[in-house]
Chains A and B, each alone.
Chain A
Amino acid sequence: MTTVTLAGAEADPRRWLKAFASQEALLAIAVIGLAIAVGLYNPRFLAARNLSDVLLGNAYIAVAAVGMTMVIISGNIDISVGALIGVLATISGTLAVNGAPIVVAWLAALVAGILVMALQGIIIAYLRIPAIVVTLGMLSILKGGLISVTGGKWITDLPDSFHLADIELFGVLPFPVVLMILVTILAALWMRYSASGRAVYAVGGNAEAARLCGISQPRTIVMVFALHGMFAGAAALLYATQLRVIQSTVPPNLELTIITASVVGGVSILGGTGTVVGSTLAAVLIAEIASALVFIDVSPYWIRAVQGVLILVTVIADILRRRRMAGA
């Protein structure tokens, strides 16, 4: 309890210090600092080619992590997203190969993503079943279904125009990176300035209080999941179009990598706090670390261990922060 004056707070120099110590700032510093440090050890790391590969190859994780971050802020979790990305990529690719208009193939991924996630949101919100259970079920259905339907076959002979990831805006800006930045900014603005974005924080922060304020918890959760499904669709398109083939599997533990990006990005696992900017920066940092391991001659298998350390450090810091708050 310090002071009642409010006008002075705007000019408080400690505010700058606080902003500097935010999760987003720490991550940005880590991203740049790591690039410089590894670059000093092995200058090839900083080659434009490598940096753009890191970003291009991982933009889809950042895009999916934006949706995941919203889901976690609302007090839920989704472990089906990795499998869903595989399914959506296959749906889109199959349509493209079979002569559907490319735009239809692209839109199909988005629409299917929204439908699957909205369905899960409905089960979670209206039947009040924990998200981890619902999405675990969906994970199995999607993973099993995909391998059974495709018989494990890869989709090849995709039309050239299908490859979204190849587009370079104005001849220089790779589409995946542009999309990653655009999605992050739009989502950040939405979460920060829209009434429905505020509802997401309120539902995750205190569902009961939000309900008494007239905010519909079920509707908010379904909306968050539907948005998450749309971002998963966008992520699936980036993933499907970065290679010439679509495999009937996705990288193992993709959902965990996406959740890691959200958590390291500063969302509270208990819901109610976090930003999508943080999760995108964290996704970039994780990709950067994976690449850096190669350049400093460490087995890339260590990346999972490094991710684990990042998660534990962030979560412990979050819990300690909350304890301090509860104690105050």
Chain B
Amino acid sequence: MTTDPHSETPAAPVLLVRAIEKSFPGVRALSGVSFDAARGEVHALLGENGAGKSTLIKIVSGVFPPDRGEVLVDGRQVDLARPDDARRAGIATIYQELLLFPELTVAENIFMGHVPRAALGRIDWRAMHEKTNALLASLEIHDLRADRVVGSLSVGNRQRVEILRALSQDARILIMDEPTAALTEYDVTRLFDIVRKLKARGVAVIYISHRLDEIFEIADRVTVLRDGAHVATKRVADTDAADLVQLMVGRRIESLFPKITVPIGQPVLEVKDLERRPLTKNVSLTVCAGEIVGLSGLVGSGRSELAQTIFGVTPADNGEIRIAGQKVDIRSPAQARSLGVAYVPEDRGTQGLVRPMTVRENFSLAALGKVAFGGFIDRGAERKLAGDGVKRFAVKTSSLEQIAGKLSGGNQQKIVLGKWLANGPKLLILDEPTRGIDVGAKAEIHRLMGELAAQGLAILMISSELPEVLGMSDRVLVMREGRIVAEFSREEVTQESIGAAMMGSRENAEKAA
């Protein structure tokens, strides 16, 4: 792992983060990360999902304290125990999901928490509007009125309100978390104008984005994180897209359970020109029996949405789906299930497991038709089904009557996976099958996936972990902005080629191809 010195700092750093460590139960989120930002600088923060960017900015914003390490503002150590401490230190954060009060006006939102006061503690409305207008003028925003209700504004204008709010608090360090994720092209241009004005005023902007071209357009320096560690800090002028992708994905060799090579059978799932606005655009793909197809892409690229469209959660607007050669029109999960499609959702907690139910009840939930006769559940059959699942998936539970919510994450995931297989599906869609579970459970899930494929199941696996995609997939598809932008065979795929395709750096994709 290369560690660049922080030598190329253009000026004295207004923010200095030193040797931050942070762990959550079971996960080391940050290990000794250092970072700095200077006055008038745009410093981009880059990394894969789960690299530790969010944890770092949350520590700097006072959302939670670090386990070890320190944060200095203007050379003085600050204790950021609460978001309010960060605000006082001149740090403002604009999150992806904007935190505004939709029923209040622009001025009220900007001054929420620090309204100008008149005598007797009354709100000084006139001062508030004057200050708002001054702020608007200072950034040359002419299409926003102080008395507009925020709920009626476009996303771009709401974001401007958040920026004004930060400025009204004299923020000298502005953190922007994927600010362009939901913006139109025009709004992106305006955002960059504003960011340049902030730079000129001496504000340090920490800019998080997945879009490499933006980083080259707006940032001065870029820091790359990977697996919670600092990989490199470089001047943007001294690097290029290929270099950054290489730094982001790195080269990790993990002892993963590799997919066993099995004969690939007939197509089980054939999707042609599938459309479901706004996030599934003209998608075509095929998954065959015995095959594991990895679906890669950044968060928000439309992978889960595609899976949910195939599974009938959000039925398609246009296009064709064939299951085992038969043209089907899937309108609901129940219908998808009866066609032999199983979907293990990404979010085990909210979508997969009924936590207050027992292990037995969770196992049979997707297969009630198999154990219920005349509308009544055959307890014996149900216990056998659940018992088989527990054995097959090596679920560690004290009994079938254990409340599922009390098990560990890995065991919960095995139940979620197992309950779908109780139905005997032909196609299994796995959405981040090993997110948030420990290495041992991960290896077991990978082993099971290999076995299932060997038994002739077709598997479509969505995963943000490149080593998992590389280790398990017979073929890899890459999605970006709702489209499949690249396809690689097992032989030709590399972390760099996937990385380049999902980041959408054109120059780089050509290089990789």
Contact = CB atoms under 8 A, between A and B. Distances in A.
Nearest to B394: A4
B356 A194 contact: no
B366 A272 contact: no
Contacts of A47: none
Given A206-B350, A325-B406, A198 B356 contact: no
Contacts of A193: 376-377, 379
Contacts of A194: 372, 375-377
Contact of B333 (A6, A199, A212, A272): A212
A205 B411 CA distance: 19
Which has the most chain B C-beta neighbours within 10 Å: A3, A4, A211, A213?
A213
Interface in A173-222: 193-196, 198-199, 201-202, 205-206, 208-216
Interface in B315-354: 332-338, 343, 345, 350-354
Interface in B389-436: 390, 394-401, 403, 405-408, 411, 419
Given A214-B337, A272-B357, A328-B405, A202 B365 contact: yes
A299 interface: no
Interface string B44-75: 00000000000000000000000000000000
B361 interface: yes
Determine the interface band of chain B, counting residues with CB < 8 A from chain A: 35 or more
A9 B345 contact: no
A10 B390 CA distance: 16
B256 interface: no
Contact of A212 (B313, B356, B357, B405): B313
A185 B395 CA distance: 34
A12 interface: yes
Given A2-B398, A212-B351, A325 B334 contact: no
Interface in B366-397: 366, 368-369, 372, 375-377, 379, 387, 390, 394-397
Nearest to B308: A212
B199 interface: no
Contacts of B400: 6, 9
A155 B121 CA distance: 61
B350 A208 contact: yes
Contacts of B196: none
11 contacts: A1-B408, A4-B390, A4-B395, A193-B377, A195-B377, A198-B361, A205-B356, A208-B345, A209-B365, A212-B352, A213-B337
Interface of A: 1-4, 6, 9-10, 12, 193-196, 198-199, 201-202, 205-206, 208-216, 268, 272-273, 325-326, 328
Given A1-B408, A9-B399, A195-B372, 15 more contacts: A1-B396, A2-B398, A3-B398, A4-B394, A4-B396, A195-B368, A201-B354, A202-B361, A202-B365, A210-B354, A212-B351, A214-B335, A215-B334, A272-B355, A272-B357
